[in-house]
Chains A and B, each alone.
Chain A
Amino acid sequence: MSILSDKKGLVFDIQRFSLHDGPGIRTTVFLKGCPLKCKWCHNPESWKNRFELFYHAKTCIGCGECVGVCDSGAHLMNSGIHEINREKCIGCFKCADVCPTSALEVTGEEKSVSGVMATVLRDAEFYKSGGGVTVSGGEPFMQSEFLTELLKSAKNAGIHTCVETSGAARIEDMLVAKEYTDIFLFDCKMIPGEKHKEFIGSDGVTMHENLKVLDKSGAKIILRCPIIPGVNDNGEHFEYISNLAKSLDNLIEINVQAYHATGIPKARDLGKNDIFEVLNFDAKIFKERIKNELIPLISSDLKVKLL
């Protein structure tokens, strides 16, 4: 193992048997930390580039073990019911260690490149018909050096690589990573501008510029388009996607991803307050609408998949 591969990164999940993050059967490595704040984010635990504590109230049995190990008084038992005061938490995470049900759970784990690769390689046999590793986030370029080392290491092992990125990164870093990346899963969240800034935390101009530069450099691209009710589920956005896609030289396909509410309980369990919710949301009707009304607005020469 080379010295380089001992570079450490902050990982919040390694999901084996991923079927939707690129071709074939894949292992997706999620890196923690993101410069954006998409309101609908389905991985809110990915935002901060440091350890965080989940509290899944649903699985708490009220055993009180956490109270016993907490020196700062962040955990309290109130007539048999556990309460957490996050302001007092000093981040020692002893509570998560003793919690028998993992109701208290640390998200984020410091892992070396070789450590991540050990897990990725476990499933090497399953990658043979085009699968491989996908590095996602957060925004993986927040840990650009680690990302590049990881990709390099995978390529050395003969493994197909994808990077899922929002594009909110330094283009220089992207061009370096490109050398070891078979496909970029590149987000197209909204049309750049004021509204983009309101919902995502950046106006999106650089992100889309980066996409074009990356494309011109010869990188293969799958456009990933999350569709959020009331935000970008309109004709204008789909025409924008269509035009953007047509302007690319190395586009493989477009993945349209219908909104789902998986981020909400996670945001709640992290103690976040301003949670984005869609009222009266019906996933099935929404998906049907995307399929029947919106996707047809994308030029029919382009390959579109609704995930």
Chain B
Amino acid sequence: MKQAAIERIKSLRAFYKTGPVFSEGVSFNRPRRQRLNYMRAFYRNGYLYSYKLRRANAEAYVLDNMEPVINDGELIVGLPDLSPLTAEEQKEYDELAKGMNFAPRRTHINSAHMALDYAKLVRVGVKGLLEEVMCRMNALDLNMPENIEKCEFYECCKIELEALIRLQHRYADKARALAEEAEGQKKKELLDIAEMMDRVPEHPPRTFREGLEAIHFYNVTLWDLFYFGRVDRYLIDLYNADIEAGRITREDAVELYACFLLMPEAYISPNIALDAMVGGTDESGKTIENEVTHIAIEAIEYARSANGKVSLAVTEDMSDELLKKAIRLNAIGCAQPALFNDRIIVEGLMKMGMPHSDAHNYCNTGCVEITPVGKSGIHVVSPYHNLAAMLLTAMENGKNAKTFEDFYKIFEEILHSEIARRNIDMNRAQMERARQGHECARVSCLTDDCLKLGKAVDAGGAIYNFVEPNFLGFSNVVDSLAAINVLVYEKGEITVSEFIEILKKDYADNESLRLRIINKLPHYGTDEELTNGLAKRLSDSILSGCKGLYTYRGSTLVPGAFSYYEHARFGKRTGATPDGRNAEYPLSSGSSPVQGRETKGPTAAMLSTLSWDHRNFMGGIAVNMKFTPSCMQGENEEKMLEFVRTFMRLGGFQLQLNAVDRETLIDAREHPENHSDLLVRVGGFSAYFTKLSPEMQQEIIDRNEHTI
């Protein structure tokens, strides 16, 4: 890439990192100034409209009162106004906020996390959406009572879409005004932006750049986490046309995509992922790997973005070249792309009854949760279930269980009743949202079949409506069940009641028992029959607990087993567990083995995680593997490729290869008990870091300073 392009991306990244999102941790939900305007309009219009129209008008008011933001060097534009409120405004804000309760707190359910139909936006533009809205609205016979609600929905769409177009044109005006005062290259860049903002997202984009601008601009004003779906499917024609006409070079496209990837750094709190997915298979089952696939992946290295992410749906036919690029990016510490297994996900979705024509077009939305693109209202991680806490309850209830089978049954009953109980909460939340609405109408405009049915996503307008309950502490529970099985029922060393007492005291005076559990008992992650079997059993129990339950919108429950950062928060309020975990210590991360228990290397850890069918967990499974960069680079790149391919062939859902950084190594030196799985490369062989001498550890820490 040209030096000027590299400089541009570098300085944009540096600039965004000084912004309020990074320095003050502004929430990714509607920034303050926009929220203030929303509340002003919402209350001002209180007596004039229906509840839903009040919301749509408030949305429009926000858009109409946004000051266009165009920063130096940006090729893609459109950001919220993040200027701080004055003291007076803050007072007004606090006053108004008292009255804003969208959904009763008790029935909270996760918002957004949808993958919108951006392919449609690229095809028809906002203007096309508006035309469809008007056409459908005008065709309604308003003497039919059921059409009144539809009409209201279309009105909401119209109000919001028109405001979005107005905002877009104000961006064009602003760019022209700035160009007046600029000179040379800068002037030209601003005039280019003006021309671009005359066009998109109102009209269908004509170039690759306009395509990126259209989807970014639409997305940035939705005030929550919405995902881009499959950019390499809907932007490839624009890219090819550009190349054919000689408008841009391939390098330009990488630069543009890097700029696009950086935008979420400026408006979303750090470390919240905004993904686009590439790769996968088309309707005929053929692998999709085109120039845009490669460009999106390559841009990662330049953008080095923490929020803007690309994930890769890996297929068997995908080229080694592309996969090696992905491995290399992880090795140099980009922490992306995450690798998803296309075959397993398509099969998993079809297992749920989805036709292949929808199943091939899915996206991860946030972490590893899966949703079909452009036709799905979804509630991810709704709710988080704490499996470890359920196990502790099972011990209380199972003091007199005569056999391990009896004990397991008690645990399973608690699990099942908890899933059912929380599902009722979720359904109440969905009911409330159906009444009041929640997402703005623009979200429904890009979700099938909302426009066709005249029904918002919250009213059940989407074709698919997964609720994805998510299960934390999976591996803690597998290991705990193994410990109970061995210590209580096989060896008879201790009773369940005695075990409870030890746990209540957090293993005080019983440290040697705790260490023996950790060091001598079987664990999930070491590829042993007992724990692999228990993992399968636990996954079956989760599945059977979800079966037969329905959501308010009539969908089935789709379980997941990943943890985002929540394993730490939930761990904090969970007492000691029979797997040797101390009270308050984080629960296991995702469905990876308990921290520090995978002592037989990555193949064994992988085989443990593959001991249960990942196709039943479209709510997402995260398997993290940690390596020092040198384990993934040079000659080892080829071996890592085989490792990834094997994981996919054996049915793994998702794999995140993590390059271990210096801080982790230092922590591992100080707290070896948490890092016994950390594999590092010593001259000529790989070894567990914590087993090395202090001198060797220092050497590796020093070395990693240079390779990352």
Q: Is A123 an interface residue (CB 8 A)?
A: yes
Chain A residues near B693: list those with CB within 8 A: 261-262, 264-265
Interface flags, B511-532, vs A, CB<8A=1, else 0? 1111110011000000100000
Chain B residues near A100: list those with CB within 8 A: 511-516, 519-520
Q: Is A37 an interface residue (CB 8 A)?
A: no
Chain B residues near A15: list those with CB within 8 A: 601
Interface flags, A270-287, vs B, CB<8A=1, else 0? 000000000000011001
Q: Is A65 an interface residue (CB 8 A)?
A: yes
Q: What residue of chain B has the Cβ atom nearest to residue A305's Cβ?
A: B635
Q: Is A111 an interface residue (CB 8 A)?
A: no
Interface flags, B627-661, vs A, CB<8A=1, else 0? 00001000110110011011001100000000000
Distance from B700 Cβ to chain A, minimum over Cβ atoms (Å): 9
Chain B residues near A101: list those with CB within 8 A: 515, 519
Q: What residue of chain A has the Cβ atom nearest to residue B685's Cβ?
A: A20
Distance from A261 Cβ to chain B, minimum over Cβ atoms (Å): 6
Interface flags, B671-708, vs A, CB<8A=1, else 0? 00000000101111111000011011001001100000
Contact B643 A25 (CB under 8 A): yes
Distance from A210 Cβ to chain B, minimum over Cβ atoms (Å): 23
Q: Is A302 an interface residue (CB 8 A)?
A: no
CA distance A63 to B514 in the complex (A): 12
Given contacts A100-B512, A122-B527, contact A283 B636 (CB under 8 A): no
Distance from B650 Cβ to chain A, minimum over Cβ atoms (Å): 6
Contact A255 B683 (CB under 8 A): no
CA distance A16 to B606 in the complex (A): 12
Given contacts A61-B511, A61-B512, A284-B703, contact A102 B520 (CB under 8 A): yes
Number of A-B contacts (CB under 8 A): 101
Q: What residue of chain B has the Cβ atom nearest to residue A97's Cβ?
A: B520
Q: Is A126 an interface residue (CB 8 A)?
A: yes
Contact A261 B696 (CB under 8 A): yes
Q: Is A299 an interface residue (CB 8 A)?
A: no
Distance from A279 Cβ to chain B, minimum over Cβ atoms (Å): 12
The one of A19, A25, A65, A287 in contact with B683, judged by C-beta atoms closer than 8 angstroms, is: A287
CA distance A201 to B582 in the complex (A): 50
Contact B636 A19 (CB under 8 A): yes
Given contacts A25-B603, A122-B527, contact A261 B642 (CB under 8 A): no
Chain B residues near A255: list those with CB within 8 A: 684
CA distance A16 to B695 in the complex (A): 25
Most buried by A among B650, B679, B683: B683
Distance from A224 Cβ to chain B, minimum over Cβ atoms (Å): 9
Q: What residue of chain B has the Cβ atom nearest to residue A101's Cβ?
A: B515
Contact A61 B642 (CB under 8 A): no
Contact B631 A19 (CB under 8 A): yes
The one of A25, A122, A305, A307 in contact with B642, judged by C-beta atoms closer than 8 angstroms, is: A25
Q: What residue of chain A has the Cβ atom nearest to residue B698's Cβ?
A: A283
CA distance A21 to B460 in the complex (A): 58
Most buried by B among A19, A61, A258, A259: A19
Total chain A interface residues with beta-carbon distance under 8 A: 36
CA distance A113 to B696 in the complex (A): 34
The one of B519, B600, B650 in contact with A102, judged by C-beta atoms closer than 8 angstroms, is: B519
Interface flags, A291-307, vs B, CB<8A=1, else 0? 00000000000000101
Distance from B227 Cβ to chain A, minimum over Cβ atoms (Å): 33
Chain A residues near B685: list those with CB within 8 A: 18-21, 307
Most buried by A among B520, B601, B603, B687: B603
Q: Is B604 an interface residue (CB 8 A)?
A: yes
Q: Is A73 an interface residue (CB 8 A)?
A: no
Q: Is A197 an interface residue (CB 8 A)?
A: no
The one of A16, A257, A264, A284 in contact with B603, judged by C-beta atoms closer than 8 angstroms, is: A16
Contact B642 A131 (CB under 8 A): yes
CA distance A18 to B631 in the complex (A): 11
B interface residue numbers (CB < 8 A to A): 511-516, 519-520, 527, 600-604, 607, 631, 635-636, 638-639, 642-643, 645-646, 649-650, 679, 681-687, 692-693, 695-696, 699, 702-703
Closest 5 CB pairs of A and B: A307-B684, A100-B515, A100-B516, A17-B601, A100-B512
A interface residue numbers (CB < 8 A to B): 15-21, 24-25, 61, 63, 65, 100-102, 122-123, 125-126, 128-129, 131, 255, 257-262, 264-265, 283-284, 287, 305, 307
A-B contact pairs, 20 of them (CB 8 A): A15-B601, A16-B600, A17-B603, A17-B686, A20-B686, A24-B639, A61-B515, A63-B511, A100-B520, A122-B603, A122-B604, A126-B642, A129-B645, A257-B683, A260-B696, A261-B693, A262-B687, A264-B693, A283-B699, A287-B683
